[in-house]
């Protein structure tokens, strides 16, 4: 009986060529095949010349074709890694970016600088999406009591599943920005948010992999990209403790605008701009003495 099975190498070569021609990342082929086979990359490379079982080949080919058409790899595999941990993602949440890992690190570093390391602190993550920021903070710093909010019930459902899967202690609230936190009278020592900050006119410059498959309301404010920062800074004094750390993820052109917003509300704040690994402005961090607390 004739064997028409492709080898793993042949399947990868076909997929990489197809994706390159379509302007996609050819590395996606490896990620998709590793997912289909349930293998690590080292196992995949070690078994390059093994035949690819037909049912696995069919599924792999289907995934490659879908990614060629613009479906994100993470929506096909159902996960994205953040801070070394697997997070469930789907069409209801933004796919966590590596740059946001650097924002979390900046928050942890500044919190460590401002507060004693053994002090129990309260944190809030506004617009939590998949829960990546809130869950990572809770797991990386056990002395943090973390609350997370989102206006999307679908997003909160994803975040709660991630919380359960990763064993994090996070309290989730449904509502618009800081409203549910204010309603419960919660005061926090660390505020962090990665709000929708892409200006509406910049949306056309994004890949269709992003604009057609990730939630638009989590990408843009439909305005100039600063609207959510303005609303959040306006309400911050209602939720910050007497001494607090504030961390915003930002677009690379927004650092001075967001810094100015914070300085207007908190003139004595120590505000720093943090760059990412690509030397682009990525976060605005502030140490604030909140005179209106209480």
Per-residue model confidence (pLDDT) at position 206: 78
Q: In terms of pTM, does the model score above 0.85?
A: yes
Spatial contact of 79 and 87, defined as CB atoms under 8 Å apart: yes
**Residue 148 burial by Cβ neighbours in a 10 Å radius (0-12, 13-18, 19+):** buried
- Which of 3.40.50.150, 3.40.980.10, 3.10.450.50, 3.40.50.720 is the CATH number of 92-289? 3.40.50.150
**Predicted confidence band of residue 218 (pLDDT cuts 50, 70, 90):** confident
The ranges assigned to domains in the chain are 8-69, 92-289
Binding site, annotated residues for substrate: 194-197
Q: Which residue did the predictor score with more confidence, 54 or 213?
A: 54
Binding site, annotated residues: 127-131, 150, 194-197
Per-residue model confidence (pLDDT) at position 210: 81
**Predicted confidence band of residue 1 (pLDDT cuts 50, 70, 90):** very low
Q: Mean pLDDT over residues 136-165, rounded?
A: 97
Spatial contact of 190 and 144, defined as CB atoms under 8 Å apart: yes
Evaluate if residue 294 carries a pLDDT over 80.
no
Per-residue model confidence (pLDDT) at position 209: 77
pLDDT (tens digit, 9 = 90+) per residue, 82-113? 999 999 999 999 999 999 999 999 999 999 99
Binding site, annotated residues for S-adenosyl-L-methionine: 127-131, 150, 194
Query: In this prediction, what percent of the chain has a pLDDT beyond 70?
Result: 98
DSSP 79-98: EEEETTEEEE--TTSPPPPH
Whole-number Å distance between alpha carbons of 66 and 282:
31
Per-residue model confidence (pLDDT) at position 293: 54
> What sign does the CA torsion over 147, 216, 274, 234 have?
negative
């Amino acid at each position: 009986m004739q064997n028409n099975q492709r080898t793993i190498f042949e399947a990868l070569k076909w997929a990489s060529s197809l994706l390159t021609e379509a302007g996609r990342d050819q590395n996606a082929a490896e990620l998709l095949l590793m997912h289909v086979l349930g293998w690590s990359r080292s196992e995949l490379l070690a078994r390059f010349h093994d035949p690819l079982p037909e049912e696995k080949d069919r599924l792999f080919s289907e995934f490659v074709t879908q990614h060629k058409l613009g479906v994100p790899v993470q929506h096909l595999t159902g996960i994205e890694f953040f801070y070394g941990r697997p997070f469930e993602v789907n069409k209801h949440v933004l796919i966590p970016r590596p740059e946001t890992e650097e924002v979390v690190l900046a928050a942890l570093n500044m919190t460590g600088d401002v507060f004693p390391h053994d002090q129990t602190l309260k944190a809030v993550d506004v617009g939590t999406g998949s829960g990546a920021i809130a869950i990572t903070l809770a797991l990386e710093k056990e002395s943090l009591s973390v609350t997370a909010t989102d206006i999307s019930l679908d997003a909160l459902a994803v975040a709660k599943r991630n919380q359960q899967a990763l064993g994090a202690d996070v309290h989730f609230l449904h509502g618009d920005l800081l409203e549910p936190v204010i309603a419960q009278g919660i005061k926090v020592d660390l505020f962090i948010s990665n709000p929708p900050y892409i200006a509406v006119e910049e949306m056309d410059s994004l890949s269709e992999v992003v604009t057609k498959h990730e939630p638009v309301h989590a990408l843009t404010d439909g305005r100039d990209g600063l609207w959510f920062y303005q609303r959040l800074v306006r309400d911050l004094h209602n939720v910050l403790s007497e001494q607090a750390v504030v961390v915003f993820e930002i677009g690379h052109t927004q650092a001075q605008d967001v810094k100015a917003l914070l300085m207007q509300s908190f003139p004595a704040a120590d505000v720093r701009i943090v760059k990412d690994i690509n030397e682009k402005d990525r976060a605005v961090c502030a140490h604030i003495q909140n005179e209106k607390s209480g």
